[in-house]
Structure 1
């Protein structure tokens, strides 16, 4: 498992261009965000030009990995040594982050034009750029200090973006989110302090070489895991998630659900792969919590009256699938074939969910904005005037349900194969049950939207790009299943 993360001293030096491209991938989003705050774009084309330059950096890093494999870049800021590594998982997450960020940025001008002029709107661009930069740093970092720095900045950016709506409820939800995030940070720092005191290093590569284990490693893993689980809204530490999304602007919800909570989960799995290499109890406990998350999140979404609460509760359930897979990834007695299948299915499911969830939040935001209604009953009859928004919601739901040919289907097929190979039949039952629950709460929306006797709404006009961008992300999640060979190739071994 450590090899798949690229946590070893790479024998060959990085390509000369790789270090510059890695730095640009972190600094360019900040520069573009500052530019957007100073000169807020009112149209799509400036955002498209900026997004194209950012994606070009990601494609260049992909070419570097395909050409030279995993690479490690070391440098220092004063007396502080910093190392970044680029491998298949890192570059894949970097590309997904850039794609969703650019799509969200393209969606934003249309949303801001539709709203009453808000001075706070210009700050969304700067916070969005800083958020993308910190996410890029998280995917490439290989030391605990850099991860902490990026994680904290990411959390502060997320809180700041939430408060931009100016609602009093948003202030309450944002304050609660900030306090809980700080609690999570404290737990993470305590774990870092234990590791530093015991092994005198913060480098994940050095820790991997020392084969850390024992009570100190277990306590550090528990503290850091609890802090990261709180930040990732993993069950049962998810109560803050729905209020955050209910009060946030649509682009903020899309970025948060698709990427922000995934970053904490990414760090959690990487650290536990290093600190708990032979544990069976901890991964099993995580799988049990994942089962409860799938059931609780699915039932909460099925009972939700608000569309945003439905989508937020769906996130809790979908994260449950990722928790369910932990024993297949971390347990010591899992065969190499089953672990490889679980590894590939895990990341494909995470990426498919990121694309689909961003599209789903955009579709939900479009429905709420056009009708002025946030409840499912209030959205009755929307099929008459908003068929494209409903189509996007449906296409995104195909990925969440795991129906062919979506990325969700291929991912769940990989996971089912791994579960059957390891005779984990209870996991198979949970996976299938979760799929049925997903279908149940998704079709609640469509049941209301096709009521012919519903009163006719006074619909607000949507900017064309608001539906087009959401449709693009939903189709990307769908088509990823047809072209899954490419990301699966990146996930093989330690590439």
Structure 2
């Protein structure tokens, strides 16, 4: 791949990005809850600074940063690598998780609603999820990626059942089964690739890979595994009960960033690892599944009786847009650059908007004691900031200006039209209409005057502002230039050189 050049202090920064969150875990194991939450937020803040430093270094050098553990280069050693896309994911994840940590903190001067603060286990799991995600974004070795995925699974699954309710435990077990099934398929694919090429380094494999039956089988296994972990239709059955039943802070990070890890790897597999001819042949099938996810899961979201379930099915639907990107980005056309940028922008705007919507839904449920949509009439008068955050997040999902989802979908639409993929353009438009249906269903009802005065519990206003800040970031993405991003092309495969703006 082009541009694999080291810049000053990159080695330390890449390693620090992975291990810094883990430094908090031993302290959190023994610390009281109040100290645990504050220590975690400090670590999350420092990790955001590290991610920004890595992104700044990649941007200044115009080349990918690389670090080799023990100084041994592949195929003997294991490497970490940060290209533009990796650095983008690092910063996005760090920002969302820092906001999640702030949202989950105890209100100063009193305990959380219900008389309990988040248990220390939450903060240890949050730090572990962060470390595993960073390793996914930086690892260049397919087996190291398997280790990172397993660490992510065993840190994310317990977040679903922190409160120990039976429904949460059942949802967590279903999540675990799907995740382990995906890991098994991925590992089988890794074994096949090692047997074919004698190395697991992505760059070395990409140089030798051909569309042989063995390599196609390996990619098929790995892709199916990542689809199960990403909850792509029809393997989405674990996501709604898991995300809707978890505590609001856990739901926010699960929907916003955890499911982005397998999608990130699918991008690596089909746009970095696979030969371009194979990627062009397979990409329409991935887009077809993405289109089915958008239509089916959006329709199911419209029929949901609970707010968190609606948002969870919306997550399963919005994932589909990322898969519509594959045939557009693999087309080897100047318009592919715009599609690639649009896909990455949708990924980021979805992360911030979905985190904001889950936090807002949690605050609404905290105020009313339930999240039944039929009982939300007049809630806009009780928690107006939370409803505003929910609405702004929904604005991005609908693809309306000036939200980031609007610019992302315009980029994807433009690429689809100019590349002749009219069916993709039609699905993008239909998905926006369906998203408008389930978002407005909630907002319009919440703004109505209730038949009887609502009895509501007070919520921490600063937690509402955390949710609103995330929603505003999602809207802020709508002001990025409507053109391909040079930063996202840093360190991309040499075959993309003609597309670099």
TM range (shorter): over 0.9
Aligned to 1:369: 366
CA contact (8 A) 2:28 2:36 kept: no
Residue of 20, 23, 33 corresponding to 1:28: 20
CA deviations on 1:298-336 (whole Å, 9 max, x unpaired) are: 111111111111001111111111112211123xxx242
CA contact (8 A) 2:338 2:484 kept: no
Question: Residues 178 and 49 of structure 1: is their aligned pair in 2 closer, same or farther, counting only changes over 3 Å?
Answer: closer
CA contact (8 A) 1:235 1:293 kept: yes
Question: Match of 2:426, SS?
Answer: helix
Map of 1:68-467 to 2, 5 A cutoff?
A: 68=61, 69-76=63-70, 81-110=77-106, 113-116=111-114, 121-273=119-271, 274-279=273-278, 280-330=280-330, 334-467=331-464
Question: Match of 2:451, SS?
Answer: coil
Distance in 2, Cα, partners of 1:437 & 1:392: 20
Gap regions ≥5 residues in structure 2: 493-501
CA contact (8 A) 1:9 1:72 kept: no
Aligned to 2:495: none
Aligned to 2:499: none
Deviates more, 1:292-301 or 1:38-47: 38-47
Cα shift at 1:166: 1.3
RMSD of aligned residue pairs (Cα, Å) = 2.3
Cα shift at 1:42: 6.9
Distance in 2, Cα, partners of 1:211 & 1:8: 17
Cα shift at 1:107: 0.3
Deviates more, 1:92-101 or 1:476-485: 476-485
Gap regions ≥5 residues in structure 1: 1-6
Aligned to 1:4: none
Question: Match of 1:243, SS?
Answer: helix
TM-score between both structures, scaled by the size of structure 2? 0.92
Question: Residues 202 and 48 of structure 1: is their aligned pair in 2 closer, same or farther, counting only changes over 3 Å?
Answer: closer
CA contact (8 A) 1:29 1:130 kept: yes
Distance in 2, Cα, partners of 1:80 & 1:34: 32
Question: Match of 1:72, SS?
Answer: strand
CA contact (8 A) 1:173 1:244 kept: yes
Question: Residues 264 and 238 of structure 1: is their aligned pair in 2 closer, same or farther, counting only changes over 3 Å?
Answer: same
CA contact (8 A) 1:217 1:276 kept: no
Aligned to 1:65: 58
Distance in 2, Cα, partners of 1:34 & 1:113: 24
Cα shift at 1:81: 2.1
How many equivalent pairs are there?
484
Cα shift at 1:62: 1.8
Cα shift at 1:64: 1.3
Question: Residues 329 and 125 of structure 1: is their aligned pair in 2 closer, same or farther, counting only changes over 3 Å?
Answer: same
